[in-house]
Structure 1
């Protein structure tokens, strides 16, 4: 197969933990051809199909100097997306206006016959913080608002709360406010831009000390191990980007209940790969843009997540 990865610059990859690299490595081992570009390299013009300016790459097996590219900027070659076997959208968040516009270009490519994973319409319809609202039976007390008075009322009821922006990633912009309410007003003003932006507020879940669990669901089926991202020191965030420690562990009964309930629904919408975030027994996020933790789970358990993903990709293309 000919696979096009739309991702962040390859030169920025940390190959010892990058999930997109793990996908590429498994695909290359099976003899698939690899191409790459960034969202900024995708274009459409009347009379043409959606085209990307790509680099054809091969993997070297070297941990540092890990790829060779047949083309270098600004001499990438044009590639019609409908003429490759699969396009894998692996650009990291934030889901900003440029990401949104990229999904529309990819939707046009789908109309022209391209196979895009995850489906670009599904990416637009499942913002990672807000997608949980569809499944209230699995989430803890949650408020979405831009109104500071709403936030104060939620805090008065639940006493210990988490506030976060809707467009954050890697734990960015997450605050905890305890029963004393210290700095609640200034934190709310910071996150809601004095009423101009919507934020999410959730009851603090003390089970975070045991980890913010990332559960991967591939083709509607959960990977049997999750990665518990455990906060370190005085930190409240378990995200690996915020210094959390990743510990792989088998899914609990509740983890499996959530994943098997949501998995088929999300897969039917074109979401081949999903990362569910669960703290204790509560679903907190549904990650669809570029779910990670492949390598950490594989290294600690021996379960080859990348193999399962490429198996699912090949099955979806048959």
Structure 2
């Protein structure tokens, strides 16, 4: 099993609380090779989704948790699975990345999370379809509504719709 991961700079993560890192540790424990990519590494050539990727080793060490191997330029369909773990912002680069991953999916690679679903379902708004699973919530750009919601509930969490948080 060959696993690829599209994510932000691995040097920037906080390993002890990063769920992608936990998945990479488990992948490596199973003996599966890991190939690391950032959005800018993906490209399309002759109607084939490709990337310049790096082999990646990880270790559960808060000082030094990753080590890159050599660059490998290959088709995304050479991988069995690709984890799309890029954090927001949800911008046009993100959309373009999902298109390239969708081509890899069409060629037979399992993409987790499904590219079309990433485009169709904003993770913060999608909870509205499952009100029985969520606390009272408010989505608004109106500061007065936010203040009224705070006055009513006393303790609230604010999150951007298109960013990490």
Decide: shared fold, TM above 0.5: yes
Asked if residue 59 in structure 1 is aligned to residue 51 in structure 2, the reply is no
Counterpart in the other structure of 1:117: 112
User: Can you list the C-alpha shifts for 1:263-282, whole angstroms capped at 9, x where unaligned?
Assistant: xxxxxxxxxxxxxxxxxxxx
C-alpha change, 1:142 and 1:62, in structure 2 (3 Å) is closer
Counterpart in the other structure of 2:93: 98
Residues of 1 paired with 2:151 and 2:58: CA distance? Answer: 52
Secondary structure in 2 aligned to 1:107?
A: helix
Residues of 2 paired with 1:18 and 1:157: CA distance? Answer: 31
Residues of 1 paired with 2:61 and 2:74: CA distance? Answer: 27
Secondary structure in 1 aligned to 2:17?
A: coil
Residues of 2 paired with 1:3 and 1:164: CA distance? Answer: 31
Q: Summarize the alignment of residues 43-192 of structure 1 with structure 2, pairs less than 5 Å apart.
A: 43-45=43-45, 47-59=46-58, 62-71=61-70, 76-145=71-140, 148=142, 159-160=151-152, 164-170=159-165
Q: Summarize the alignment of residues 294-305 of structure 1 with structure 2, pairs less than 5 Å apart.
A: none
Give the greater-gyration-radius structure (CA): 1
- Using the size of structure 1 for normalisation, the TM-score is 0.45
Equivalent residues of 2:140, 2:146 under 8 A apart: no
**What is the Cα deviation at residue 116 of structure 1?**
0.4
RMSD: 2.7
Secondary structure in 2 aligned to 1:79?
A: strand
How many residues end up aligned between the 2 structures? 162
Q: Which has the higher contact order (CA 8 A, sep 6+)?
A: 2
Q: Unmatched 5+ residue regions in structure 1?
A: 171-318
Q: Unmatched 5+ residue regions in structure 2?
A: none
Equivalent residues of 2:138, 2:149 under 8 A apart: no
Residues of 2 paired with 1:8 and 1:137: CA distance? Answer: 33
Asked if residue 39 in structure 1 is aligned to residue 31 in structure 2, the reply is no
User: Can you list the C-alpha shifts for 1:207-262, whole angstroms capped at 9, x where unaligned?
Assistant: xxxxxxxxxxxxxxxxxxxxxxxxxxxxxxxxxxxxxxxxxxxxxxxxxxxxxxxx
